[in-house]
Structure 1
Amino acid sequence: MQVDPRGQRMAAGITTVILVIVLVTGSWELLAAQAVVFAVGALAGLRYAPYGLIYQALVRPRIGPPAELEAAAPPRFAQGVGLVFAVVGTAGYALGTEWLGIGATAFALGAAFLNAAFGFCLGCEMYLLIRRVIPLNRSEREVSV
């Protein structure tokens, strides 16, 4: 499956705003809601990700098709990484370990901001690095040697 990278950047922008609000308010409920957004993207697929649906319905019709598409696996992996940080942050805030909530949220915010502002998807780069080290199949292993 291929995805529009502009949609990924828009989703990262929304995520950035949400995570800033979480850091300002300490709202574990809002961070839990963001964890659900990450979970949908990571587990059900980017086609069903809430921010992606907003992009598809409201933005893409106005700006037209992208010049290029990208593979869905790296951004989907990035959603999974975001999910881990959001769950850890939610647990930190909810259980009264505020430093853990702040730290996990700040790491997720950093990654989301890099994607939104510069188009650099940290989770995607992690995915590609992992795939180089641990290929999915034998033909990839032979190519990477």
Structure 2
Amino acid sequence: MQVDPRGPRFGASVTTVVLVAVLVTGSWALLAAQAVVFAIATFLGLRYAPYGLVFKVLIRPRLAPPRELEDAAAPRFAQGVGLVFALVGTAGYATGITWLGIGATALALAAAFLNAAFGFCLGCEMYLLIRRITAKDRTEKDSPEGKVPA
């Protein structure tokens, strides 16, 4: 599936605002709601992501067509990374381990802000790095030099 790259960037902007609100209020419920948003995007796909739907209905019709589309796999992976941090943060806040909640939320905020402000998707870069490493490993295992004689 291909996506307009402005959609995930819009989602990162909304996420940035939500995560700042979590850090200001210490609300585990708000962070849990953000985790649900991440989970929908991760497990159902970006097409069903709440912020993506807002972008599709309210924002994209007012913009010129994108110059190019991008594969949805990397942003979807990034949503999964955000989900992990949101779940850890929620658990920290909910159990009284406030430093864990603050730390996990701050890390997720940093990644969301990088995407929102600069278009640099940290989770997407992780995805691409993992793909390169695993592709290299598969190539080495399949090459004649990588095989062990019987």
TM-score range for the pair, normalised by the shorter chain length: over 0.9
Give structure 2 stretches of 5+ with no counterpart.
144-150
Q: Alpha-carbon deviation of 1:137?
A: 10
* 2:135 aligned counterpart, secondary structure: coil
* 2:67 aligned counterpart, secondary structure: coil
Q: TM-score, normalised by structure 2?
A: 0.90
Once residues 111 and 27 of structure 2 are traced to their aligned partners in structure 1, the CA distance between those partners, rounded to angstroms, is 20
Which residue of 2 is the match for residue 33 of structure 1?
A: 33
Which residue of 1 is the match for residue 20 of structure 2?
A: 20
| CA distance 1:4–1:105, shift in 2 (3 Å) | same
* 1:31 aligned counterpart, secondary structure: helix
* 1:134 aligned counterpart, secondary structure: helix
**Correspondence 1:60-75 to 2 at 5 A:** 60-75=60-75
Q: Alpha-carbon deviation of 1:65?
A: 1.7
Q: Are residue 126 (structure 1) and residue 110 (structure 2) matched?
A: no
| CA distance 1:56–1:136, shift in 2 (3 Å) | farther
| RMSD of equivalent CA atoms | 1.7
Measured against aligned partners, the alpha-carbon deviations of 1:16-62 in whole angstroms (never above 9, x if no partner) come to 00000000000000000000000000110000000000000000001
Q: Alpha-carbon deviation of 1:64?
A: 3.0
**Correspondence 1:1-145 to 2 at 5 A:** 1-135=1-135, 141=139
Once residues 60 and 20 of structure 1 are traced to their aligned partners in structure 2, the CA distance between those partners, rounded to angstroms, is 25
Once residues 136 and 25 of structure 1 are traced to their aligned partners in structure 2, the CA distance between those partners, rounded to angstroms, is 45
| CA distance 1:136–1:87, shift in 2 (3 Å) | farther
Highest Rg: 1 or 2? 2
Moved over 6 A (4+): none
| CA distance 1:136–1:51, shift in 2 (3 Å) | farther
Q: TM-score, normalised by structure 1?
A: 0.93
Kindly provide the amino acid, as one letter, of the partner of residue 15 in structure 1. Answer: T
